Amino acid sequence: MKVLITKEQLKIIVNSLNKPQSKNKIVKWLNKSIIYVKESWSTLQNATKLEKEETLLALIILRKILTNTYVSDKEKRFLKMQSLDLVKILFLIITRFIPVPLPILPTLIWLSKKTRFNFFPNSHLKKLDEIKNPNLN
């Protein structure tokens, strides 16, 4: 989307940015943004690391099934849940490419509450531990 502005509008914008108050507001906003990205980045990395582990374990279980190796009921349930999570993740990624500015995320949250179906991926950390360490149970 192109935005056209006149030379006078550009001058007004540049002049307003040259004011000390405007610069201070921009600097404060940038500082807050930097802190937010730093904090969110580690959370995102942790979440994707866990999702990676769960997906790898699901692929290992799938390989066991395809090679006719014994697969426990816990492993089968884990594979089903992780497969559903992958579908949810793909759905959320695809919704980002819809060109219409729909409020998709708030709508999904509202639908989750109404239908009691969670549209967002779940953590299977407890089940992951049970599968990795079956002797603990």
Domain ranges within the chain, ordered by starting residue: 7-136
Cα 93 to Cα 45, 90, 97, 104, 119: the distances in Å are: 17, 5, 7, 11, 12
Residuewise pLDDT in 10s, the chain (137 residues): 456 777 787 777 777 766 777 777 777 877 887 787 777 777 777 777 888 888 899 899 999 999 989 999 999 999 998 888 888 878 777 766 666 556 666 777 777 777 777 666 666 666 666 666 655 55
Do residues 127 and 81 touch, judged by C-beta distance below 8 A? Answer: yes
Burial bucket for residue 88 (CB in 10 Å: 0-12, 13-18, 19+): middle
Tokens of 62: 């799938």
